[in-house]
Structure 1
Amino acid sequence: MRKILVVGAGQSGLQLALGLQSHGYEVTLMSNRTADEIRSGRVMSTQCMFHTALQHERDLQLNFWESQAPRIEGLGVSVAAPGSFDPGPSQRAIDWVGKLDGYAQSVDQRVKMAGWMDAFAQRGGQLVVHGAAVGDLDYFSRAYDLVLVSAGKGELVQMFARDPERSPYGEPQRALAVAYVHGLGPRPEHPEFDAVRCNLVPGVGELFVMPTFTTSGRADILFWEGVPGGPLDVFNGVKDPAEHLSLTLDLMEKFLPWEYARATGVELTDAGGTLAGRYAPTVRKPVGRLPGGGLVLGVADVVVANDPITGQGSNSAAKCAAAYLAAILEHGDKPFDEAWMQQTFDRYWATAQHVTKWTNAMLAPPPEHVLNLIGAAGQLQPVADRFANGFDDPSDFENFFYEPEKTGAYLASVA
């Protein structure tokens, strides 16, 4: 039986650990927190998982909350009209919603990671609650056939060298601020179905509103992405959750009054329902070297960390875990050497590269043909639907998004 160590108990680490466990591997999982600590702690992310990523969970029978989480059937885009602060539709230069071919869902990672960790332990997995340092891995690596590092923060990430050719940004491109709330009203124009709402304020930032399932049931996530140094970059150092929510709502009232109109009665889901921070989008080399000569393979966010502006983090983590699981199963009892590690990452990069390209494009001011495309989606439902489904399969953007000629040809074919 092959012995595998997974360091980090997020979406990718747990999905991989549970997947390997189901195929008879002897798996040890290292987490810096217990399931109960995760469950009662602070929110860790925004997450909206689209059909392909959800299917990876279903394939492993890990979709424990599918019947409870809201079914997200659409994805809407609104662009604030310059200098307008009246809540009516006239204040939106663009406003549309695309329908998803397969529904999306969001489950608070506190719920999911704690639940998956409990399942891993109940199924006989070895769970080590310990914040791993490089020295620990040096010691442990000798006892395992493969060490996978999926802890996306801290000292361990430094083992993986930044890939400058794939990392155009050296600094954070957005200041991030998240609040989980109860009491948000529906969008009056589409009360009959749940949708993720992407609200763009040109030159200022974005607000994403997404239905979710949290520790206290159905909720919504209010997620600001502010251009650094701009009017949304005000959450740094705010420790009080009530103050964080108050700031969130004040900014909604000022910049996105149509979203504020349905948020006047909201309250935080719990004292841990806020999060703020920022990080530079970075792609890293996949193989890390330990001081004693051992090799470890980076997973998901450790090797490809994109800004959350395109909502791909948990989707990418699920796709990475699925690609790595398939590569491990196919490899049988051969040694997990450096060449295999690089090939396994390359298999994941085949899909991840499209996410990175699209995300980095969305962080920059949109060129004219992209504005035309987003505008056309308001008049042409097939364009809105195709854009929405790109969140599930970002490789499709190659066909109609990046190059003015392809965008023009596509719009002409639909019109």
Structure 2
Amino acid sequence: MRKILVVGAGQSGLQLALGLQQHGYEVTLMSNRTADEIRSGRVMSTQCMFHTALQHERDLGLNFWESQAPNIDGVGVSVAGPDGSRPVDWVGKLDGYAQSVDQRLKMAGWMETFSQRGGQLVIHGAAVSDLDYFARSYDLVLVSAGKGELVSMFGRDADRSPYDAPQRALAVAYVHGLGPRPEHPEFDAVRCNLVPGVGELFIMPTLTLSGRADILFWEGVPGGPLDVFNGVRDPGEHLAITLDLMKRFLPWEHDRATQVELTDANGTLAGRYAPTVRNPVGRLPSGGAVLGVADVVVANDPITGQGSNSAAKCAAAYLASIVEHGDRPFDEAWMRSTFDRYWETARHVTKWTNAMLAPPPEHVLNLIGAAGQFPPIADRFVNAFDNPADLENFFYDPARNEAYIAEVAGAAQASGA
């Protein structure tokens, strides 16, 4: 029986460990926190997962909360005018619903499941020296802990990392009591509110420890009016600042947030990081090689909501590569080809995310505007959250963009719509 060590108990690490376990591998999972510590800790992300990523969980029978989490049936885009108006405001329908499950709930539950199924769980904050020692006992070491010393083993890929500094200041609040959008009270949608030159507010329904809730997520341009959460430690103050900014820049969203309260004292999070692609193979002091997983090697800004989706897709790709490899050694060449398999999807995410962090070119503004006129454009755009590869066909290139809008407009005119 082949022995595999997975370091890090997030979406990718746990999904991969549970998948390997199902395929008969002897898996050790290393986490710096227990399930109870995760469950009682601070929120970790916004984790809106779209159809493909959810299907990877279903394929492994890990969709424990699917019947409880609210179904997200669409994604809406609003653009704020300087006078508090909404010159752009539309919603597109997803082909398959999305869901968000608080990672405190999911990761704690998955970790307990891993142990119950006979997996070896080691609660230990791993350093490079620890891995150097442990690696000799395993056929493969996978590093999915995206922060701390271990990441330093994986060098930055400058060609794939155009930014060397954070492009957004991030601030998250989990709340109860948010009212529905009056325009579409009949279904749940992620709401993407764009404030040109200032940042973005994303609002999405989620399932948390105390049931149904909503996430208020500001992404602020560094140094701008939204970059005010650094050093805020009091959760109540964090929420008050969040709401004040909504009132100032997005009054239509503030109008439905007058009765909100935090889900719990750990329901806020703030921080920033530079989007980075890294070399997938890390070298240990003794010369051994380890393979980086998910955001260890591809860390994108959350502006396109791809973090947990990419983690699930990475875990699925790596699992398939490991199983297909049979009893052959997991050498560096295999590690690089395994990462390349994941990069086939991840490269589209990185390209899109980096594009969205920059001021939008005119043809993208035209596309966002046209989506408000033509529902097929809105629907196609929002389904790119599930499949970012489709953006190559209509988003980046001005000529393709113009041709696509003209095609949809012509079809609408011909049908009399």
Q: Place the TM-score, normalised by the shorter chain, in its bin.
A: over 0.9
1:392 aligns with 2:391: no
- Alignment correspondent of 1:245: 239
1:377 aligns with 2:371: yes
Which of 78, 91, 103 matches 1:97? 91
Deviation, 1:6, is 0.0
Deviations 1:354-394 (A, max 9, x none): 00000000000000000000000000000000001000000
Aligned to 2:321: 327
Counterpart in 1 of 2:138? 144
Aligned partner of 1:124 among 118, 121, 131: 118
- 1:230-273, CA deviations, whole angstroms, 9 ceiling, x for partnerless residues? 00000000000000000000000000000000000000000000
Q: Look up the equivalent residue of 1:366 and give its one-letter code.
A: P
Shift of residue 345, structure 1, vs aligned partner: 0.1
For 1:366, what is the secondary structure of its paired residue? coil
User: Which of 174, 188, 196 is 1:194 aligned to?
Assistant: 188
Describe how 1:210-249 pairs up with structure 2 within 5 A.
210-249=204-243
CA-CA distance at 1:200 after TM superposition: 0.1
CA RMSD of aligned residues (A): 0.3
Q: CA deviation at 1:52?
A: 0.2
The structural deviation recorded for 1:214 is: 0.3
Structure 2 residue 249 is the aligned partner of structure 1 residue 255 = yes
Which SS does the other structure have where 1:92 is aligned? coil
- How big is the shift at 1:411? 0.5
- From 271, 274, 285, the equivalent of 2:268 is 274
- Tell me, in whole angstroms, the C-alpha distance in 1 between the residues paired with 2:249 and 2:87: 13
Partner of 1:71: 71
Q: Deviations over 1:63-98 (max 9, x none)?
A: 0000000000000000001x213xxxxx10100000
Q: Which amino acid aligns with 1:41?
A: G
| AA of the residue aligned to 1:18 | L
What is the aligned partner in structure 2 of residue 169 from structure 1?
163
Structure 1 distance, partners of 2:46, 2:32, is 20
Distance 1:257 1:105 in 2: 26
AA of the residue aligned to 1:75: V
Q: Distance in 1 between matches of 2:326 and 2:116?
A: 26
Letter in 2 for 1:120: F
Structure-2 residue corresponding to 1:157: 151
Give 1:223 shift: 0.1
What runs of 5+ residues in structure 2 fail to find an aligned partner?
410-417
- Partners in 2 of 1:299 and 1:329 — Cα distance? 16
Counterpart in the other structure of 1:302: 296
Deviation of 1:330 (Å):
0.1
Residue 6 of structure 2 aligns with which residue?
A: 6
- Alpha-carbon distance in structure 1 between the residues aligned to 2:406 and 2:370: 11
Distance in 1, matches of 2:390 and 2:138, equals 39
Give the structure 2 partner of residue 39 of structure 1: 39
Whole-angstrom CA distance in 2 between matches of 1:105 and 1:194: 10
Q: Hey, what's the Cα distance between the residues in 2 that align with 1:74 and 1:372?
A: 21
Question: How far off is 1:347 after superposition?
Answer: 0.2
Post-superposition offset of 1:55: 0.1
SS of equivalent residue, structure 2 residue 14: helix
Amino acid paired to 2:372: G
Give the distance between the partners of 2:171 and 2:267, measured in 1 at CA.
11
- How far apart, CA to CA, are the structure 2 residues paired with 1:215 and 1:30? 24
Equivalent residue for 2:48?
A: 48
1:55 and 1:253 mapped to 2: Cα distance?
38
Structure 2 CA distance, aligned partners of 1:14 and 1:32?
13
Tell me the SS of whatever aligns to 1:191: coil
Q: Secondary structure of 2:373's match?
A: coil
2: CA distance, partners of 1:93 / 1:139: 59
Corresponding residue of 1:18: 18
Q: Look up the match of 2:402.
A: 408
Deviation of 1:312 after TM superposition, in Å, equals 0.0
Paired amino acid for 2:380: R
Aligned to 2:413: none
What's the counterpart of residue 341 of structure 1? 335
Match of 2:412 in 1: none
Taking the aligned partners of 1:353 and 1:397, their CA distance within structure 2 comes to 12
Query: 1 CA distance for matches of 2:99 and 2:390?
Result: 21
The equivalent residue for 1:84 is 83
Deviation beyond 2 Å, 4+ runs, structure 1:
none
2-structure distance, mates of 1:33, 1:256: 38
Distance in 1, matches of 2:385 and 2:147, equals 25
**What residue identity is the alignment partner of 1:67?**
S
- TM superposition score normalised by structure 2: 0.98
Q: Which residue of 2 aligns with 1:361?
A: 355
Q: Which amino acid aligns with 2:326?
A: G
- SS of 2:175's equivalent in the other structure is strand
Q: Deviations over 1:6-45 (max 9, x none)?
A: 0000000000000000010000000000000000000001
Question: What letter corresponds to residue 144 of structure 2 in structure 1?
Answer: S
Give the gaps of 5 or more residues in structure 1.
Answer: 86-90
What letter is aligned with 1:247?
I
Give, as a single letter, the amino acid of the residue that structure 2 aligns with 1:35: A
The equivalent of 1:28 in structure 2 is 28
